[in-house]
Chains A and B, each alone.
Chain A
Amino acid sequence: MSEPVLRVKNLKVYYYVEAGAVKAVDDVSFELDFGVKMGLVGESGSGKSTMALALMRMIKPPGKIVGGQMILGGTDLVKLNEEQMRQLRLSRLAMIPQGAMNSLNPVMRIDKQLIDGMLDHNVIMSNEERVKRVNELLEMVDLPPKVAKMYPHELSGGMQQRVTVAQSISMEPDLIIADEPTSALDVVIQRQVMETINRLQQRLGLSVILIGHDMGLMAQTVDRLAVMYAGRMMEIGETRAMFHRPLHPYTELLIKSLPVLENKGVFSGIPGITPSLLNPPAGCVFHTRCPKAWGLCEETTPQFVEAEPGRWVACHLITA
C-alpha cells in the first residue's frame, strides 16, 4: 500500500479561555489516501471546523495546536514555521471556504483574484500565460471566459463559489479542504458545485476533505466518512458501509435521525445535548447520550482502533 497523502496522529487543538481549556479537537487520528474524498461530519461544536483550520495551520489565539502530528506527504505541518507553512498553502493544500461571498475581494476583478495566489507563491508568468491560465481555470469550473473581467457582485452565489473552487485548484494542490462549501446554496446549485468539485477531483487526482453536517450530501458525494463528536473521532469508514452498518451508536443515531423517503413524517432527533468541551464527560464523551452505554463507558475513554480493514471506531461495544 502506498503512503497516504495525509496522516493525522493524536492531534490536539485546545482553546484557552478564562474558564480553562476547551478541547475542540482531542486526540484525533486518521489517514487519507491519494485521490480519496473523505467527508467529515458532526454537529455544531463537534470540532470539525477547528479540524479544518488546524490542517491549514490557521488556528488563532486563544486556540493552539497542543500536540500531535499532521503529516502531508512526508512533512509534519505542525513543525513548520509560518513562512514554510505559507509556502505550502495553496501549492500543496488549499481550502474552499464556507461563504464565497465573504472570501472574495469585492473590488478586485475575478481574473486578478484567480492568479493572485500564484503570484504570491512566486510563479513567474508572462501576461499571455496569465490570461491563458485564468481561462483554463474558469473552464475547469464551468464558468464562461467573460467572468474573468467581472467583479464578485456580478456573479450569483453558485458562480462565486465556483470561483473559490478555481482559486483553490490554481496551483494543483494534493489536498483540498472544503468547509461546508454549499451550505448557503439551494439544492440544484449545490449539486452543480459538488459535481464540479467531483469532476476536478477525478481529473486532477485530488484528495478532498469535505466538512459538513448534511449527511445526505455526504451520502451522495464522498468515498469515506469520518464522524466527529465533542472533539473526538467516533468512527471512520467507507461511506456505503457506514450507512448500511454503522458500528458506533452515535453514527447509528445520526443516520437514523435523517429523513428518508419511505418514512414520511417521522422525526427522530438524538436526545440530549452536546456536552461542554470545557469539561467533557469522563470516559467516552458520548456516554451521556448513548442508549447503549454501560459501566465501562463512564470510566475509560475507548481507544480508536481499526475494527475491520479500513474501518476505525472508538467504542467499548466493539473493542471490549
Chain B
Amino acid sequence: MTETAALSQQNIITTKDLDAKDIETILDTADSFKEISTRAIKKVPTLRGRTIINLFFEPSTRTRTSFEIAGKRLSADVINISGAGSSVVKGESLIDTAKNLEAMSPDILVVRHNCSGAPSLISEFVNCPVINAGDGMHEHPSQSFLDLLTIREHKGSLKGLKVAIVGDIAHSRVARSNIQAMQTMGMKVKVVAPPTLIPVGIEKMGVDVCYDLGQGIKDADVIMILRIQLERQNQGLLSSLREYSNYFCLTTNHLSNVSDETLIIHPGPVNRGIEISLDVLEGPRSMILNQVTNGVAVRMALFYLLLGESDANPN
C-alpha cells in the first residue's frame, strides 16, 4: 500500500457529501486492495484489533457478505447483527440500539435499514464512523463506488462518459447515489423508465429523463439496469411485469444499435428475463460479476480510509 489521503467525511452516508477527490481516493485505494483477494491467503493485518459491526435491519446477501469479507480480509473482527435477531423486535428504538452497540466500542458501524435517513440518524448519536449500506429509497454509496470502479477499470477514466440508468428510479437508492456520484465525476446521466417510476423533480438533480429504452440507451457508454420489484404492480405503478418487460427489458435486439464497448451493469439481485434478458445478462458486455468482486475491494477501501491512515498500519 502506498500512502493514502484521508476523506473529507467521517461518515459515508450520501455520495452528495463527497467531492471528486474523495471518490478518486476511494477508487484508487480499492484498486490497490484488489490484489489481496487474488492471493491464496486472502488476509492482511491492516485492521487487526479493530471491530466492525454490520447492523442489517433489512435482508441482504450480497452487501452484507461483501462488507463482512472486506473486514475479515483486513483482519478486523466483524460482527453481524440482523433486524430479526436484534432487540428491535423487542421494541427498542433505533437510537437506543445504536447507543448500546456504541457502548461496546466498535470502530465502524455499517448500517442497512428500510427507512431513508436511518444511518444519518444513528450517526448523530454515535462517535464512530457510520457507513450507509443502503437506507430505504435514499442511498447506497458503496454500491455506487463499486459501479464506478468497474466502469473505470474498463473505460480508463470516468469523465465525459454517458450513463443510462434504466428501471425503478423512484424507489432506487442505487440510482440516487449514482446520479450524484457520477455527476461529481463528470459523467452525464440519463434515467430511463415509465413515468410512474420517475420521481418528481428528478431533473433538478441534473439528469435527463427518457421513457423509451431504445432512445435512452442509444449513445450510452454504460447501461445500468435496476431490479424491478413485483409489488410495484400492486401499487398501481405498473400495469403488469409482462408489459414492463415488453418496453423495458434489455435484450440483444436493443444492443444491436449500441456500441460493442458499452458496459452493462446491474446492482443485483437480478430478475432474469424481466428487466434483462438471459443472453444479455451472460453476454460479453455484462459486468455484473466484476461488480461483485469490486464490491469487496471498495468496502475494504472504505474501512481503511475511515479508520485513518495514521493508526491503521497498512503492512
- A complexed with B: no
Give the B-binding residues of A (Cβ under 8 A): none
Give the A-binding residues of B (Cβ under 8 A): none
